[in-house]
């Protein structure tokens, strides 16, 4: 039996979407077409190549320039059809077949076909592309031979006909659709990639809602509406201009004057306090949870952190409320590994309460009555060293002397990924936002045995075979049939890991803050979309 | 003369080669692995190894360096690790902004330095001279980032006379240029002052004076031209100072030049960009020094005679 | 001693000496002067929203973004900044002396090799190099001092080289040599003493440069490691508040300026006193 899902056209999906979030739209009126808006960032945009771009600035832009087989409904973590009208999954969960919407065109005028899908994903996996997304596609047959450089194609992606593409997986992968919704799976035309001669990131061609009209390096990017975009009625704005090299404070001043519509870097802390209190800024601040947890990794291979009691004691030592106050309340204290918006988050689990006395007792039980000395690594960009100093002071209160090493991000990553080097790493500022809204994204890359390797990102070096088996079982559960049960299984895995082994100190869930001009319409969700950051396709100018 | 210059050009080329070699070795010895950074957190060791191979990082240092040199000789500065594009166009796209900033900075420096230096020399040993000399010390001793923040606070945030950052209009360049120029202006004021005093003491100036020419005329006609050449030579030698200052000033003001490019690259261990900017800066310094050598004979007749 | 009385006679140099004295005093007696520990993140040191507090009776110069007493941090920061200034500059003067002296004395291939190397270092964009090294090595006080020394010795070397070249030609050295004095003897007893004024002048002026350089590296977040305070990293940690809490940026800024200025004033006066021929140069 083959299950058939999502048998809807893209247009029907649009109706479903608007029906899903009527309340949000009702608040700020109905979306209207037209308008040219200005967005600002401080840092220059590195690339618009979907196989390469992995910054939160270019992520949104790439998302709106290209299309993928499946995509999230705006403002939600729910998957819906996009380039593909429908898909089928085989009963063993190892074969996915997609029907591509006919008549979708790249901005160079050529129709998008199944061969383009195959080419694009192979390109993302190919080491020659040097993209950061290759690892996500590991479950497709042939991915490993390609990363080994032994093949330039992947057997697991089959072009059945012009509008049908099939993926054969090595093993069932409950998150496979999430992977296909990542920017890395965006469809690109081979001829444009070849024509760009290795510079596709500066000369992108896609089939998404917007086209790149102008790019003045270090200054400005102009995106205009794609007139042939296959989702009718979208996008709403005629164009958006991204101005780079703009200090956040300057952007806010210009925003007040009406010169800027979205200050992409958010609001500096001092200004945030002021703006939140001022009635002038009502309706201009978007302040939302994101799929993020900031935490301290406790290296389970380094003494005395190899003792779970010590790790639990450290968990109890941190005054999370004080740390949240230091960053002006722009975060929520965290009790567990998963962030609250992630499916599988356990509302009933309260984690380790702040209790220095109990922490000291636990240390004494572990034979460390007088505490110990250790080292904590952190990114050297503000405010991370400050947060680490607050953590350091909390540790000192239970007798643990932690030396701080504030280094450039690559050096922190290198230290974390080298066995026996970094006893603790503060994760803030190192880009820890979930790639997709599935709990497994918080296990595989950062808590699984497979990532506790040289150059890996499991900086706790946590590897527990029992949990490994449970994680595999959870990911083998068919989705969406057993989605809820699967999430419950994952929830239990994470709370059990934290309760028994405490390889992390989850400190807070940082919210993202963004400022927009009063003329901008649309719900908060489309300005801070859980997977897209800014959803350029869904924002609009109030008439 | 021609021979002398040819030899200097040859030396300059050798110096650039040396700069390239030293920078390459230093960056090679750093603890971070660019491949891990590029591969992202979804990667497994196999992918990291593949990317390291693609970047040529698995080859011995000497081969990597020769490969890099071979590229340089063909005008190829390599490809950026993070931006996945040629380094040279990246630098060239940002060079004009830096050149504008440097030109404006030098302008500020020379105008301030000349004005204060001349005034101090004419009114030497008076109270105004003392104040100017004190100010020149303050200029020389001020940390550029503090000057930048102070100018931003006073003239942008509080008074609103100038934009806080950005690029494109003449108003944008004022604060960064002043920040960049203040330090050098201190040096130049002192230099101009002493050069002027020397000239003013010389016989022909005294004669001009005696003939009843006005002070301003004596200064403009006779003393100033003699004081200007050493400044021009000095600018050539100072290019190195400027290249450093540009990194800080561009970082604070968000100026889209090569200094900011370098700072972002340093934070991401984007070795090809760091190499490229270092070499371009070294080239500018070498050219500046060559220019100073070229001007030197006109400044000091004793060198011309040699 | 003559030098000191000469210095004291010049008002600018005197101001410099007094300021430096004050900073050194503050650094040495920091624990007794400050009411708080520089690392103590005080609960009453932050507003309810987590903003730093302005200067008040309780906190003389206000608090920083973690609720620490700014005055205490400045005092202890003086230790860091002065240590780096002295160590880094001392190192660069020593390297500069050795390289310049050897290059000037031993002509031949060793001398020209050393000079070519110095030329090469002159072509390095020094600050860029320092930033790259400080950022990418694992920073500590000693690494920062080393990096600064590495980019700062070149100037000293060039001046020492020129002076040594001049000295070797002089009659008394030639006379010594004809009397059969060894190289070591000539260098130690006849050349070095003549280079001493230069070393002292540059040893003083150089401190201003190194203090500024250390502040710049720390301002970029690549200086000494937290929580150790340095004047530059106090500004680095407060940057985002510079509009709302300007004292956090401009008080340490003024301290850096005053210190660098004082060393420059003293150095300039020393140059006048020790070497009248160099009067007014640069």
Q: Mind listing the pLDDT tens digit for each residue in A200-222?
A: 999 999 999 999 999 988 789 99
Cα separation, A252 vs A264, in Å, equals: 10
CB-CB contact of B280 with B93 (8 Å) = no
Average pLDDT for B90-101: 91
Distance in Å, alpha carbon of C226 to nearest chain A alpha carbon: 6
CB-CB contact of A82 with A10 (8 Å) = yes
CB contact under 8 A, B47 and A147: yes
**Residue A14, pLDDT above cutoff 70:** no
Average pLDDT for C250-275: 92
**Residue C176, pLDDT above cutoff 70:** yes
Cα separation, A65 vs A62, in Å, equals: 5
Q: What is the pLDDT of residue A149?
A: 86
Q: What is the pLDDT of residues B106-124, one digit of tens each?
A: 999 989 998 999 899 888 8
Distance in Å, alpha carbon of A114 to nearest chain B alpha carbon: 25
Neighbours of chain A (3+ CB pairs under 8 A): B, C
- Stretch among A101-105, A480-484, A527-531 having the lowest mean pLDDT: A480-484
Supply φ then ψ for residue A510, to 5 degrees: -80, 135
Tokens at residue A332, please?
A: 């929520």
Give residue A26's pLDDT band: very low, low, confident or very high (50, 70, 90): very low
Tokens at residue A171, please?
A: 């093993």
Distance in Å, alpha carbon of B75 to nearest chain C alpha carbon: 20
**Residue C64, pLDDT above cutoff 80:** yes
**Residue B134, pLDDT above cutoff 70:** yes
Give residue B296's pLDDT band: very low, low, confident or very high (50, 70, 90): low
Q: Looking up tokens 């240092």, which residue turns up?
A: B61
Q: What is the pLDDT of residue C141?
A: 87
Q: What is the pLDDT of residue A431?
A: 67
CA distances from B197 to B104, B125, B230 (A): 28, 11, 14
Can you give the residue ranges of every domain in chain A? 28-66+208-286+514-543, 68-188, 292-510
CB burial string A141-177: b at 16+ within 10 A, e below? bbbbebbeeeeeebebbbbeeebbbbbbbeebbbbbb
- Stretch among A439-443, A471-475, B240-244 having the lowest mean pLDDT: B240-244
Q: Is A105 exposed, middle or buried (0-12, 13-18, 19+ CB in 10 A)?
A: middle
Give the single-character DSSP code of A292.
Answer: B
Beta strand A294-298 pairing with A424-426? antiparallel
Q: What is the pLDDT of residue A62?
A: 96
Q: What is the pLDDT of residue A251?
A: 85
Tokens at residue A445, please?
A: 């890359």
Give residue C76's pLDDT band: very low, low, confident or very high (50, 70, 90): very high
Element (H, E) at C193: helix C192-219
In A, which residues are within 8 Å of B55 by CB distance? Answer: 130
CB contact under 8 A, A409 and B42: no
In A, which residues are within 8 Å of C237 by CB distance? Answer: 382, 385-386
CA distances from A469 to A174, A299, A346, A501, C59 (A): 15, 22, 21, 16, 57
Chain A residue closest to C48 (CA)?
A325
Average pLDDT of chain B to the nearest whole number? 84
Give the single-character DSSP code of A49.
Answer: -
Cα separation, A385 vs A163, in Å, equals: 52
Q: What is the pLDDT of residue C112?
A: 85
Q: What is the pLDDT of residues B13-72, one digit of tens each?
A: 888 899 999 888 888 777 677 888 888 877 888 888 888 888 888 888 899 899 999 998
Q: Looking up tokens 């509009």, which residue turns up?
A: C243
Please tell me which of the candidates A52, A135, A218 has its beta carbon nearest to residue B94. A218
CB contact under 8 A, B51 and A54: no
A contact residues 426-445, partner B, Cβ 8 Å cutoff: 435, 445
CB contact under 8 A, C221 and A406: yes
Average pLDDT for A510-522: 91
Q: A28-66+208-286+514-543: which CATH architecture? A: 3-Layer(aba) Sandwich (3.40)
Does residue A149 sit in helix, strand or coil? coil
Q: What is the pLDDT of residues C88-147, one digit of tens each?
A: 999 999 999 999 999 988 878 888 888 888 888 888 888 888 888 888 887 788 888 999
Give the single-character DSSP code of A417.
Answer: T
Distance in Å, alpha carbon of A409 to nearest chain B alpha carbon: 7
Give residue A290's pLDDT band: very low, low, confident or very high (50, 70, 90): confident
CB-CB contact of B21 with B68 (8 Å) = no
Tokens at residue B115, please?
A: 């004005």
Contact pairs from chain A to chain B, CB under 8 Å: 152
CB-CB contact of C22 with C14 (8 Å) = no
- Stretch among A316-320, A449-453, B226-230 having the lowest mean pLDDT: B226-230
Q: What is the pLDDT of residue A28?
A: 47
Would an 8 Å CB–CB cutoff place C227 in contact with chain A? yes
Please tell me which of the candidates A127, A218, A410 has its beta carbon nearest to residue B50. A127
Please tell me which of the candidates C212, C242, C281 has its beta carbon nearest to residue B149. C242
Q: What is the pLDDT of residue B304?
A: 47
Average pLDDT for C50-60: 90
Q: Looking up tokens 């979407």, which residue turns up?
A: A17
Q: What is the pLDDT of residue A3?
A: 36
Distance in Å, alpha carbon of A389 to nearest chain C alpha carbon: 6
Cα separation, B4 vs A542, in Å, equals: 70
Cα separation, A312 vs A518, in Å, equals: 47
CATH class, range A68-188: alpha beta
**Torsion angle of the four alpha carbons A331, A337, A338, A340, in this order, in degrees rounded to the nearest 10:** -40
CB contact under 8 A, C221 and A325: no
CB contact under 8 A, A325 and C50: yes
**Residue C180, pLDDT above cutoff 50:** yes
**Residue A19, pLDDT above cutoff 60:** no
Q: What is the pLDDT of residue B34?
A: 82
Q: What is the pLDDT of residues A245-258, one digit of tens each?
A: 787 877 888 888 88
In B, which residues are within 8 Å of A128 by CB distance? Answer: 54
Tokens at residue C149, please?
A: 């020394």
Tokens at residue C134, please?
A: 């400080």
Would an 8 Å CB–CB cutoff place C220 in contact with chain B? yes
Q: What is the pLDDT of residues A382-400, one digit of tens each?
A: 889 999 999 999 999 999 9
**Residue to substitute from C36, C41, C232, interface A, most A β-carbons within 10 A:** C41
CB-CB contact of C248 with C234 (8 Å) = yes
Tokens at residue A455, please?
A: 């150059």
Tokens at residue C159, please?
A: 């001046």
Fold category of A292-510 in CATH: Dipeptide-binding Protein; domain 3 (3.10.105)
- What percent of chain A stands above pLDDT 70? 94
Cα separation, A357 vs A344, in Å, equals: 31
Supply φ then ψ for residue A513, to 5 degrees: -120, 135
Does residue B22 sit in helix, strand or coil? helix
Element (H, E) at A158: strand A157-161
Would an 8 Å CB–CB cutoff place C113 in contact with chain B? no
CB contact under 8 A, A411 and C138: yes
Please tell me which of the candidates C43, C138, C227 has its beta carbon nearest to residue A392. C227
Element (H, E) at C86: helix C70-105
**Cα Rg, chain C, nearest whole Å:** 22
Q: Looking up tokens 């205009």, which residue turns up?
A: A224
Q: Which pairs count as long-range contacts for C137-143, CB under 8 Å and 24+ apart, including other chains?
A: C137/B30, C137/B31, C138/A405, C138/A407, C138/A411, C138/B31, C139/A406, C139/A407, C139/C222, C139/C223, C139/C224, C139/C225, C140/C224, C140/C225, C141/C80, C141/C83, C141/C84, C141/C224, C141/C225, C141/C228, C142/C87
Q: Looking up tokens 């599988």, which residue turns up?
A: A344
Chain C residue closest to A250 (CA)?
C243
CB contact under 8 A, B190 and C243: no
The CA-based angle C219-C140-B39, given to 5 degrees, is 80
Tokens at residue A155, please?
A: 């057997």
Q: What is the pLDDT of residue A227?
A: 93
Q: What distance lies between CA B234 and its chain's CA centroid?
A: 12
Q: Provide the angle, in degrees to the nearest 10, between the axes of the packed helices B258-267 and B87-122.
A: 120
Would an 8 Å CB–CB cutoff place A189 in contact with chain B? no
Please tell me which of the candidates C128, C212, C282 has its beta carbon nearest to residue B278. C128
Cα separation, C40 vs C277, in Å, equals: 52
CB contact under 8 A, A201 and B43: no
**Residue A305, pLDDT above cutoff 70:** yes
Average pLDDT for C232-261: 91
- Higher local confidence (pLDDT), B261 or A19: B261
CA distances from A215 to A47, A228, B150 (A): 11, 21, 33
- Higher local confidence (pLDDT), A18 or A502: A502
CB contact under 8 A, A455 and B85: no
Distance in Å, alpha carbon of A394 to nearest chain C alpha carbon: 10
Q: What is the pLDDT of residue A2?
A: 36
**Residue B156, pLDDT above cutoff 90:** no
Supply φ then ψ for residue A382, to 5 degrees: -60, 140
In A, which residues are within 8 Å of B53 by CB distance? Answer: 127, 149
Tokens at residue A197, please?
A: 């001669």
Cα separation, A490 vs A493, in Å, equals: 5
Q: What is the pLDDT of residue A11?
A: 31
Give residue B184's pLDDT band: very low, low, confident or very high (50, 70, 90): confident
Give residue A516's pLDDT band: very low, low, confident or very high (50, 70, 90): very high
Average pLDDT of chain C to the nearest whole number? 88
CB-CB contact of B42 with A135 (8 Å) = yes
Q: What is the pLDDT of residues C38-49, one digit of tens each?
A: 999 998 888 888
Distance in Å, alpha carbon of C183 to nearest chain B alpha carbon: 30
Would an 8 Å CB–CB cutoff place C244 in contact with chain A? yes
Q: What is the pLDDT of residue A27?
A: 43
CB-CB contact of A81 with A304 (8 Å) = no
Which residues pair with residue A285 across a beta bridge? Answer: A515
Cα separation, A480 vs A493, in Å, equals: 20
Would an 8 Å CB–CB cutoff place C253 in contact with chain B? yes
**Residue A42, pLDDT above cutoff 60:** yes
Give residue A29's pLDDT band: very low, low, confident or very high (50, 70, 90): low
CB-CB contact of A340 with A290 (8 Å) = no
Q: Which pairs count as long-range contacts for B228-232, CB under 8 Å and 24+ apart, including other chains?
A: B228/B114, B229/B295, B229/B298, B229/B299, B230/B191, B230/B195, B230/B299, B231/B110, B231/B113, B231/B114, B231/B188, B231/B191, B231/B192, B232/B295
In C, which residues are within 8 Å of A386 by CB distance? Answer: 65-66, 226, 237
DSSP per-residue codes, C214-267: HHHHHHTT-SSPTTS--HHHHHHHHGGGTTT-THHHHHHHHHHHHHHHHHHHHH
CB contact under 8 A, C49 and A271: no
**Residue A185, pLDDT above cutoff 80:** yes
Q: What is the pLDDT of residues C200-223, one digit of tens each?
A: 998 999 999 999 999 999 998 888
CB contact under 8 A, B150 and C265: no
CB contact under 8 A, B144 and C256: no
Q: What is the pLDDT of residues A415-471, one digit of tens each?
A: 999 999 999 999 988 866 788 899 999 998 899 998 898 888 999 999 999 999 999
Chain B residue closest to C129 (CA)?
B278
Residue B238 CB partners (closer than 8 Å, separation 6+): B184, B288
Q: What is the pLDDT of residue C131?
A: 87
Average pLDDT for A159-177: 93
Give residue C18's pLDDT band: very low, low, confident or very high (50, 70, 90): very high
**Residue C280, pLDDT above cutoff 50:** no
**Residue to substitute from B33, B91, B146, B199, interface C, most C β-carbons within 10 A:** B146
Q: Number of C-alpha atoms within 13 angstroms, CB side, residue B56?
A: 14
CB contact under 8 A, A47 and B268: no
Give residue C255's pLDDT band: very low, low, confident or very high (50, 70, 90): very high
Give residue A148's pLDDT band: very low, low, confident or very high (50, 70, 90): confident
Nearest to B176, CA basis, from B111, B257, B250, B247? B250
- Higher local confidence (pLDDT), A512 or C26: C26
Q: What is the pLDDT of residue C1?
A: 63
Cα separation, C195 vs C160, in Å, equals: 7
Cα separation, A134 vs A132, in Å, equals: 6
CB-CB contact of B68 with B78 (8 Å) = yes
Please tell me which of the candidates B44, B79, B165 has its beta carbon nearest to residue A450. B44
């Amino acid at each position: 039996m083959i299950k058939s899902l999502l048998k809807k056209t893209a247009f029907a999906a649009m109706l479903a979407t608007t029906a899903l979030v009527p309340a949000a739209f009702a608040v700020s009126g109905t979306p209207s077409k037209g308008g040219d808006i200005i967005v600002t960032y401080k840092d220059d945009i590195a690339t618009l190549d979907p196989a390469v771009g992995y910054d939160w600035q270019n992520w949104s832009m790439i998302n709106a320039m290209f299309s993928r087989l499946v995509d999230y409904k705006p403002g939600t973590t729910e998957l819906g059809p996009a380039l593909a009208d429908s898909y089928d999954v085989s009963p063993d969960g190892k074969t996915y077949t997609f029907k591509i919407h006919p008549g979708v065109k790249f901005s160079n005028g050529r129709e998008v076909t199944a061969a383009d899908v195959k080419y694009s994903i192979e390109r993302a996996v190919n080491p020659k592309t040097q993209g950061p997304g290759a690892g996500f596609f590991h479950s497709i047959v042939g991915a490993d031979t390609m990363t080994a450089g032994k093949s330039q194609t992947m057997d697991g992606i089959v072009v059945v006909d012009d509008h049908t593409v099939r993926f054969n997986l090595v093993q069932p992968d409950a998150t496979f659709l999430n992977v296909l919704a990542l920017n890395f799976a965006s469809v690109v035309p081979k001829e444009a990639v070849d024509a760009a001669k290795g510079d596709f990131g500066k000369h992108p061609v896609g089939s998404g809602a917007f086209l790149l009209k102008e790019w003045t390096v270090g200054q400005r990017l102009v995106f205009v509406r794609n007139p042939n975009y296959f989702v009718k009625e979208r996008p709403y704005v005629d164009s958006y201009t991204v101005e780079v090299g703009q200090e956040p404070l300057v952007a806010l001043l210009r925003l007040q004057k009406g010169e800027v519509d979205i200050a992409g870097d958010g609001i500096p802390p001092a200004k945030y306090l002021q703006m939140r209190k001022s009635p002038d800024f009502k309706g201009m601040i978007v302040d939302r949870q994101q799929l993020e947890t900031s935490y301290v990794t406790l290296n389970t291979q380094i003494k005395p952190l190899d003792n779970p009691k010590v790790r639990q004691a450290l968990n109890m030592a941190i005054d999370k409320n004080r740390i949240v106050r230091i960053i002006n309340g722009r975060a929520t204290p965290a009790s567990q590994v998963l962030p609250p918006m992630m499916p599988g988050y356990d509302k009933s689990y309260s984690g380790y309460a702040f209790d220095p006395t109990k922490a000291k007792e636990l240390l004494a039980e572990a034979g460390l009555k007088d505490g110990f000395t250790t080292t904590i690594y952190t990114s050297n960009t503000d405010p991370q060293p400050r947060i680490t100093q607050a953590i350091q002071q909390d540790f000192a209160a239970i007798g643990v002397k932690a030396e701080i090493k504030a280094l450039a991000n690559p050096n922190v990553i290198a230290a974390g990924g080298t066995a026996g080097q970094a006893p603790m790493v503060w994760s803030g500022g190192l880009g820890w936002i979930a790639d997709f809204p599935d709990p497994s994204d918080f296990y595989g890359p950062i808590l699984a045995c497979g990532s506790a390797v040289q150059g890996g990102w499991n900086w706790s070096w946590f590897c527990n075979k029992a949990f490994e088996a449970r994680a595999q079982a959870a990911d083998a559960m068919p989705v969406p049939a057993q989605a809820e049960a699967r999430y419950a299984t994952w929830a239990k895995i994470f709370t059990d890991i934290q309760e028994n082994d405490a390889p992390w100190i989850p400190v807070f869930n940082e919210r993202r803050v963004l400022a927009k001009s009063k003329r901008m319409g649309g719900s908060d969700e489309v300005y801070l979309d859980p997977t897209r950051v800014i959803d350029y396709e869904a924002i609009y100018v109030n008439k | 003369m021609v021979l002398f210059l040819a030899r200097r050009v040859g030396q300059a080329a050798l110096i650039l080669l040396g700069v390239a070699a030293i920078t390459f070795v230093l960056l090679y010895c750093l603890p971070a692995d660019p491949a891990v950074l590029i591969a992202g957190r979804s990667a497994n060791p196999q992918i990291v190894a593949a990317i390291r191979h693609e970047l040529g990082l698995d080859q011995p240092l000497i081969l990597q360096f020769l490969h890099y040199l071979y590229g340089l000789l063909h005008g190829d500065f390599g490809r950026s690790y993070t931006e996945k594009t040629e380094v040279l166009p990246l630098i060239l796209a940002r060079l004009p902004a830096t050149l504008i900033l440097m030109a404006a900075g030098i302008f500020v420096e020379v105008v301030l330095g000349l004005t204060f230096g001349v005034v101090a020399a004419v009114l030497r040993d008076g109270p105004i001279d003392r104040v100017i000399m004190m100010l020149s010390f303050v200029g020389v001793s001020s940390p550029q980032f503090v000057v930048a923040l102070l100018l931003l606070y006073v003239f942008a945030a509080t008074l609103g006379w100038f934009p806080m950052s950005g690029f494109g209009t003449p108003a944008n360049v004022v604060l960064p240029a002043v920040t960049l120029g203040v330090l050098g202006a201190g040096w130049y004021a002192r230099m101009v002052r002493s050069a002027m005093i020397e000239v003013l003491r010389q016989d022909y100036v005294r004669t001009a004076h005696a003939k009843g020419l006005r002070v301003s005329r004596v200064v403009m006609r006779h003393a100033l031209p003699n004081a200007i050449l050493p400044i021009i030579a000095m600018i050539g030698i100072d290019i190195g100072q400027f290249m450093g200052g540009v990194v800080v000033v561009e970082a604070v003001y968000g100026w889209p030049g090569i200094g900011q490019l370098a700072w972002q690259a340093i934070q991401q261990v984007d070795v090809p960009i760091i190499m490229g900017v270092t070499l371009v800066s070294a080239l500018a310094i070498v050219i500046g020094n060559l220019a100073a050598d070229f001007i030197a004979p006109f400044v000091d007749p004793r060198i011309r005679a040699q | 001693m003559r030098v000191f009385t000469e210095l004291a006679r010049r008002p600018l140099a005197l101001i410099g000496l007094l300021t430096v004295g004050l900073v050194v005093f503050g650094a040495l007696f920091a624990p007794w002067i400050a009411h708080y520990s520089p690392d103590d993140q005080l609960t009453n040191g932050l507003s309810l929203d987590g903003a730093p507090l302005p200067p008040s009776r309780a906190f003389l110069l206000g608090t920083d973004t973690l609720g620490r007493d700014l005055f205490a941090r400045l005092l202890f920061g003086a230790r860091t900044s002065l240590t780096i200034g002295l160590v880094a500059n001392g190192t660069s003067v020593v390297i500069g002396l050795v390289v310049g002296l050897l290059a000037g004395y031993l002509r031949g291939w060793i001398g020209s090799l050393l000079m070519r190397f110095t030329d090469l270092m002159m072509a390095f964009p020094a600050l860029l190099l320092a930033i790259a090294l400080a950022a990418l090595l694992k920073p500590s006080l000693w690494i920062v001092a080393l990096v600064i020394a590495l980019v700062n010795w070149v100037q000293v070397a060039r001046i020492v080289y020129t002076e040594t070249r001049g000295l070797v030609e002089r009659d008394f050295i030639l006379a010594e040599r004809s009397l059969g004095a060894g190289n070591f003897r000539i260098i130690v007893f006849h050349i070095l003493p003549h280079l001493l004024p230069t070393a002292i002048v540059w040893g003083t002026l150089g401190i201003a440069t190194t203090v500024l350089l250390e502040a710049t590296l720390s301002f970029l977040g690549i200086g000494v490691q937290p929580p150790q305070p340095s004047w530059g990293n106090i500004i680095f940690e407060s940057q985002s508040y510079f509009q709302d809490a300007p004292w956090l940026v401009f008080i340490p800024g003024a301290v850096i300026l005053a210190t660098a200025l004082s060393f420059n004033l003293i150095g300039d006066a020393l140059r006048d006193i020790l070497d009248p021929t160099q009067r007014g140069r640069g």
